[in-house]
Structure 1
Amino acid sequence: MLLDLRTITLSDLPSPKGHFIIGHYPQFKSSTKHQFLEDAVLTCGPLFTINLVGKRFVASAIPELNHRILKLRPQQFRRLPKIDSVLQEMGIKGVFNAEGEDWKRHRRLTAESLSTKKVKAYYPTVLQKCETLLHKFKTYATAGKQIDIQREFMLFTIDVTTAIAFGYELDAINEKDAIFQQHLEQIFAMVNERTVAPIPIWRFYKRKKDKQLQQSLHAIEKTIYSFIKHAKATLANHPERHQQPTNFLEALLAENNEGDFSDTEVYGNIFTMLLAGEDSTSSSLSWIIYYLSQHPEMIKKVRKEAFDCYPKTATPVSYEQHQQLSYANSVVQEAIRLHPTTTQQIVQANEDCTVLGLHIPKDTRLILLNRYPQRQDEYFDKATQFIPERWGADQCPMHRKHHPDIVKGFGGGPRFCPGMHLAMAEMTTMISMLCKHFDFSLSISPEAVTEKHSFIVYPENLYVHFTAVSSF
């Protein structure tokens, strides 16, 4: 950190050029707002302000400051209140948007329900969905079909998430029950749109898309509440499930043995899992394929590890085998460093406070540009290059600069993502399996693949070809 934050006053910070009245709103609401903010670091420095229709936000690309702010949640900083307002309007109250003591209640329950022990119990579900997608990709490879990899991974993660969330066998991979998936996509798109809207038009006038949102919310709510009722009956008839729940909903209800949480709160946490588990994991998997498609030598290295670990099976059939896939895990971590699904986090100060010498008044809104330092040579050697080896325990000494604590792919501080272990299990298993069975290459030039910011950042226009290998 080169700046002396003690000498800085927020009101004197520089700002990129914007509109006189609406400020930087046109750039911020676009699908490339993350790139606008990162570009502004080059012109304004690592600490600057933007104006969104009269509301000032402080943007920070200083990792030490951002790390400290994240550690001070939920006491001194919280999510932007508007996010909570939008979600609660949709009937969603869970660990994602809870704050203060209420958050601690939700966090305890969800953290235990997504612990390593529970993820190990969920692993057979992950494996089953991986094998289903493997079969589908084999048919694509035989036909020489170009694959929209982002969409295929989205269908995969929907299947995994709904099965683990409440035991719903959706089979989106094979294009079954597409209506449920379409409802989810409608909701996720509107969450993103409403959180950045300067005026809540939907509260005064219901547009067509607002009416469609209500229909989607009603359909999802009806489905989830039916599963809550079913899960309660299952636990009552099978008490052993309290110790060995088969899905996240059963685990939540089992942990809620004192009845501290209402069905509304249970519903909110199930929906939060759907919200967090679909787009983020599918996006990360897609970026991994993007990089591996340009590095066939890395595909071969993942493949060799797979054959060493599970030589006679198509997939790593046990959670213990998955844990041995160290190079596949490094590939995943490197993709998350370069392309985290959440490039920034927006928080607001609960009180006047001083962080690393910087005075931050109450209600100050801050945008933490977490991805920016992850791509800087100050923290990682050859920071813009895809080098999975930097994450190997026996390889780090060859890299003079390696600061894994800078990476915030799963957030940071007390509010880091509780689904991290599940997401890493999904991604590591999937990548190992695919590299064991296929070579793959981009169908278009790497430059033609672009980033798009919706609720998360995902690759657009990413198409690949899979070729089956004869070694298995």
Structure 2
Amino acid sequence: MFCLPKTAWPPTPHTLERERGVIQEQLALVPPALMRRVTALFPYWHYFTLPEDRRLARAMAEVHSYIRKMIERTRERMHESPDAPPRNLLEAMLAARNGPDSTVTDEQISANVLTLLVAGEDTTANAIAWALMYVAADDRLQQRLFEQSRAAFGEAGICPDYDALKHLDLCEAVCNEALRLRPVAAIQTFEPLSDVQIGGVAIPAGTRMLFLTRPAMLDPLNFAHPERFDPDRWRHPRAQSEGAHELKAYLTFGAGPRVCPGRYLAAVEMRLVLSMMSRHFEIELAIDPAKIEEVSAFTMVPNTMPVRLKPRG
């Protein structure tokens, strides 16, 4: 049995090789703590700390130590092969740091690594989990995903190259539709930098505002039959004659200048995982779907998601 747990998959390279490590154990404390602080009426932690705040502080100290070691190991590896092109995002950032007249700082690199660890892959993993819930419940959809993946892969076991991604539009549509109904970033926060008025309401600078992303995506004015899981709405939106398909209302990754910078990377990762699983396995939920609950821990995650994977012949 394959199980997608509440904390999803480890959010950093090679942590799957470590059964219990600093990333899995310590980063698991971060999203719930962020959720508590985002929704807190008063920033009490500036004045006193509770046991959970002290646990978070110890966890963050270990995470920052781990990040420093990761950066140093990467620097050493790059020093040994100075002419090799960057092989991952961290190497690319360090290469930019070493460039002439660079304005990139070590602090910025560390902050970006932390962002990737906290919000980079955990969100994507949970998005895949929600997608699998819908895929497992629809045999016909699974067959379509299998056929598309088989055609795109050819003789390869996984997606062979970037161009093949263009032929995995159904995989992308499934992920888009799953995130419309189950947005991982269900709550977003904003603070105006200056006094503003929105809809005639005066909002002073620094006011904490919470924004729910799902209501707009479940509004029939924006999406036809919004309660229905229909991935094909994303494949031929202009040809739909049943009603609305308002892309501006698709707020899973936010919008405007603060839109998620990793949305395209996430889309690629989700297509790769879903296509690989559909190509090689039949997917079946190992739990009553009614028992799968949404848990708001900064990201919206399933409380449990056990599935059975049956290898295809």
Same fold (TM over 0.5): yes
SS of corresponding position for 1:220: helix
Q: Which of 214, 220, 228 pairs up with 2:57?
A: 214
| 1:278-336 deviations in Å (ceiling 9; x for gaps) | 32111111110111111111111010101111132221121221232111111111111
- Select the residue among 163, 167, 171 that pairs with 2:16: 171
Aligned residue for 1:293? 136
Whether contact under 8 Å (2:196, 2:202) holds in the other structure is yes
Kindly provide the CA deviation profile for residues 333-390 of structure 1, in whole angstroms up to 9, marking residues without a partner as x: 11111111112322122223345x5353332443222210101211111111110000
Question: 1:261-288 CA distances to partner (integer Å, 9 max, x unpaired)?
Answer: 3322221111011111132111111110
How far the C-alpha of 1:199 sits from its partner, in A, is: 4.5
Question: Judging changes above 3 Å, is the alpha-carbon distance between structure 1 residues 469 and 237 closer, same or farther for their aligned structure 2 residues?
Answer: closer
* Structure 1 unmatched runs, 5+: 1-144, 164-168
Does 1:263 find its partner at 2:112?
Answer: no
Tell me, yes or no, if the aligned pair for 1:442 and 1:465 is still in contact at 8 Å.
yes
2:91 partner amino acid: E
Matches within 5 A, 1:409-424: 409-424=252-267
Identity, % of aligned positions: 24
Cα deviation, 1:167-191, whole Å, max 9, x if unaligned, reads xx3225xx53434310111233323
Q: Counterpart amino acid of 2:118?
A: L
**Cα distance in 2 between the residues matched to 1:468 and 1:154:** 22
Is 1:149 aligned to 2:7, yes or no?
no
Q: Is the 8 A contact 1:171 1:177 kept in 2?
A: no
Equivalents in 2 of 1:222, 1:397: separation in Å?
Answer: 52
Matches within 5 A, 1:138-287: 145=1, 147-150=2-5, 154-155=8-9, 158=10, 161-163=11-13, 169-172=14-17, 176-241=19-84, 244-256=85-97, 257=99, 258-287=101-130
CA RMSD of aligned residues (A): 2.4
Is contact 1:332-1:427 (8 Å) kept? yes
Give the alignment's TM-score, normalised by structure 1: 0.61
User: Which residue of structure 2 aligns with residue 361 of structure 1?
Assistant: 203
Q: Is the 8 A contact 1:340 1:371 kept in 2?
A: yes
Paired residue secondary structure (1:452): strand
Q: Which residue of 1 aligns with 2:308?
A: 465
Q: Does 1:303 align with 2:303?
A: no
Gaps of 5+ in 2: none
The Cα of 1:402 is off from its aligned counterpart by 0.8
Q: Is the 8 A contact 1:438 1:469 kept in 2?
A: yes
For 2:67, what is the secondary structure of its paired residue? helix
Q: Which amino acid aligns with 2:255?
A: G
The answer to whether the Cα contact below 8 Å between 1:344 and 1:368 also exists between their aligned partners in 2 is yes
8 Å CA contact 2:12–2:121 kept in 1: the answer is no
Cα drift, residue 204 of structure 1: 4.9
Between 384-393 and 312-321, the greater mean CA deviation after superposition:
312-321
Q: Equivalent of 1:401, from 244, 248, 260?
A: 244
1:171 is paired with a residue whose SS is: helix
Change (3 A) 1:230 1:440: closer
* Counterpart for residue 312 of structure 1: 155
Cα displacement (A) at 1:208: 3.8
In the alignment, the residues of structure 2 paired with residue 374 and residue 394 of structure 1 have an alpha-carbon distance, to the nearest angstrom, of: 15
Q: 1:240 to 1:323 in 2, by over 3 A?
A: farther
Whether contact under 8 Å (2:12, 2:23) holds in the other structure is no
* AA in 2 matched with 1:171: L
Residue 232 to residue 468, structure 1, CA distance change in 2 (3 Å): closer
Residue deviations 1:69-99, cap 9 Å, x none? xxxxxxxxxxxxxxxxxxxxxxxxxxxxxxx
Specify whether residues 231 and 461 from structure 1 end up closer, same or farther in structure 2 by C-alpha distance, changes over 3 A only.
Answer: closer
SS at match of 1:349: coil
2:234 counterpart residue number: 391
State whether residues 390 and 399 of structure 1, in contact with CA within 8 Å, keep that contact through their aligned partners in structure 2.
no
- SS of the residue aligned with 2:74? helix
